[in-house]
Chain A
Amino acid sequence: MSVLDIKDLQVSIETEQGKKEILRGVDLTINSDEIHAIMGPNGSGKSTLAYTIAGHPRYTVEGGSITLDGEDVLEMSVDERARAGLFLAMQYPVEIPGVTVSNFLRTAKTAIAGEAPRVREWIGDVRGAMEKLRMDSSFGERNVNEGFSGGEKKRHEILQMELLRPRFAVLDETDSGLDVDALRIVSEGVNRIKAETGLGVLLITHYTRILRYIQPDHVHVFVNGRVAEQGGPELAHRLEEEGYDRYLKAGV
């Protein structure tokens, strides 16, 4: 049982017009085996939260804390966070020319496990995980994200999550750009990994569509860098009908 605890998190970025505040005091507590949906309009700070947890250098933490089982996450480098058990499934994964998927996966697994995986077992694990995500076996020979379709990129992110076995995963708009079939395959993957490993999930999304496939335990509505409202799955249903207008008009 692990806890990812975010307290009064304030984050800014540098823009051409100077420093800009994005997160204005965010509180969230995520336990193992829980799914938290973060919903909100564009520009509300959802992705900033995702990238700040992962440690992207573009974001500056102005105040507050992130701890993983009491360990200070903000003190850790990007790779240390991953080795501590955090995972970010990105909305726009970048291409890495000349680095094959199989080489990348093995290198990442070795880094996270602290030792190289046993070859035969590893090949079986990769093949099994790829089959479950309906990925062709030739996928491993392709260069990371190079020429991948939107759906292939997202499946590749979930594949990594399955093989790297994080304690907490942040899924940043994983549903964007997916057709119904791909959305179902990816969602099944998330549910399966959670069931097998007790993964805690922070599911960031603009739309309620993915919540039909991945049932959240808690829903948090982000507006203007803060949690404007939170509740259970019923809150998502309400958002589906009413949209975000209510929060925006209130000027929270």
Chain B
Amino acid sequence: MTTTDMTPAHLATAEPIVPIQTRSERPTSFDPADFGTPTGREVNWRLSDLKRLAPLLVDEETETGDALGIEYGVAALEERGLLVESRGHDAAPRGEIFRPEDVISAIAWKRCANALHIRLPEGQEQAEPVIARLHGTGADRHANAHIVIEAMPGSVATLVLHHSGSARYAQNVEIIVRDGARLTLVSVQDWEDDAVHAAAHQAVVGADAYLKHMVVSFGGGVVRVNPSVRLAGHRAEGELYGLSFADSGQHIESQVFLFHEGTETRGDVLYKGALQGVGARSVWIGDVLIGDDATGTDSYEKNQNLVLTDGARADSIPNLEIKTGDIAGAGHASATGRFDDEQLFYLQSRGIEEEEARRLVVIGFLMEVVQRIGVPEIEERLAEAIEEELRRGAGLAPASKAGA
């Protein structure tokens, strides 16, 4: 594995890595026409599976008829009084912080008239995780959605968006974490193999507020979940975690943007992915921007991928842009590797059979992220899902040794 690492000590003298365009200056628009059709050369489409995403580029009516492309299983939220009616594009707080950054997101904005608005009441703690079940009704069904998640001041909650079934689903998730709120949001992509899902998550985290944002992608054909988080308030905290397991034919993408805007904010980005099978593909682009006024920032981002078999490919592009020198620390790391022969040797030298040793190494690799969820029932289910993925890949030949 190769690792690049910048410690705070180095930062004082090192030139910041400056992307061609500051990430926060990317154009936004509510009108799909303003974006045109992507060619695949654009920075935010360059590594995407545009061919399979094409159905989501069609600006068409998707809310006609009785059957919708996605069934929203939100009865549990309704019972707990967490749903608020949102009618029309202008219904506040819809659009308070959300600005579409690509054509799919703009279409989703335009074609979704009534948002799903989840509000976590002020000062209340939700003892149990709140789970919204989004089920796709067919691989040929095109659906567009705008979801607003509003964590009111002082609220504490864990919210899960669980996706299953199949659909062609474009989704905007607008996440407002008001001052002093603590929100854990987990988006689980447990789709069927033929689902196509493109999601734009945009979050703003207020003063002394905390957001743990987690993207878990095991299922689906093409899954593109791009979280963009602004740590806007003084001492806002953001933990952005991702876990993916790409099998043959799956394209799993996350373009992550963490913007330190406020003073003394803390950010931690960790995305880990495993890949197995011919054509398994993952793309991770991680941008961290430390703004002009973001003094006292503490930021770290890391992406690691483990390639389990030949024929799989992981792209990993970390960017760090720092506009103020007065920070507590910032660093980034990226590594993509195959099985570490020395790890396998160590385990086998203790009597553990090769296949079991591989299993331990992969599970251990991914568990680092799972362990950060902090919700035991979700952690257990994910550990099971990882085991299931490994069983699926059990017959595949392991990745050939580096350099062989």
Interface residues, chain A, CB within 8 Å of chain B?
Answer: 54-57, 77-79, 81-83, 87-88, 90, 93-99, 104, 107-108, 111-112, 143, 160, 164
Contacts and interface: CB of A to CB of B under 8 A. Distances in A.
Contact of A111 (B341, B346, B350, B361): B350
A98 B343 contact: no
A94 B342 contact: yes
Nearest to A98: B364
A98 B351 contact: no
A47 B350 CA distance: 18
Given A77-B354, A111-B356, A96 B343 contact: yes
A54 B360 contact: no
A108 B347 CA distance: 8
Contacts of A79: 348-354, 357
Given A54-B345, A97-B368, 9 more contacts: A57-B341, A79-B348, A94-B343, A94-B346, A97-B364, A98-B363, A99-B367, A111-B353, A164-B350
B351 to A, nearest CB: 4
| Most B CB within 10 A of own CB, among A57, A88, A98 | A98
Nearest to B359: A107
B363 A107 contact: no
Contacts of A107: 352, 356, 360
B360 A82 contact: no
Given A97-B365, A99-B360, A99-B364, A112 B351 contact: yes
B340 interface: yes
B349 A54 contact: yes
Contacts, number: 78
B390 interface: no
Interface in B297-353: 340-343, 345-353
Interface of B: 340-343, 345-354, 356-357, 360-361, 363-368, 371
Nearest to A84: B351
Looking at B341, B360, B363, the one whose CB has the most chain A CB atoms below 10 A away is B360
A98 B365 contact: yes
Contacts of B350: 79, 82, 104, 108, 111-112, 160, 164
A211 B388 CA distance: 50
A92 to B, nearest CB: 9
Contacts of B371: 98
A20 B93 CA distance: 71
A143 B346 CA distance: 14
Complex A-B, nearest 9 residue pairs according to Cβ-Cβ distance, in ascending order: A98-B364, A82-B351, A98-B367, A108-B350, A111-B351, A99-B364, A78-B348, A112-B351, A79-B348
Contacts of A111: 350-353, 356
A94 B1 CA distance: 14
23 contacts: A54-B345, A54-B349, A57-B341, A77-B348, A78-B348, A79-B348, A79-B357, A81-B349, A82-B349, A83-B351, A94-B342, A95-B343, A96-B343, A97-B364, A97-B368, A98-B367, A98-B371, A99-B360, A104-B350, A104-B360, A107-B360, A108-B351, A111-B352
A160 B349 CA distance: 11
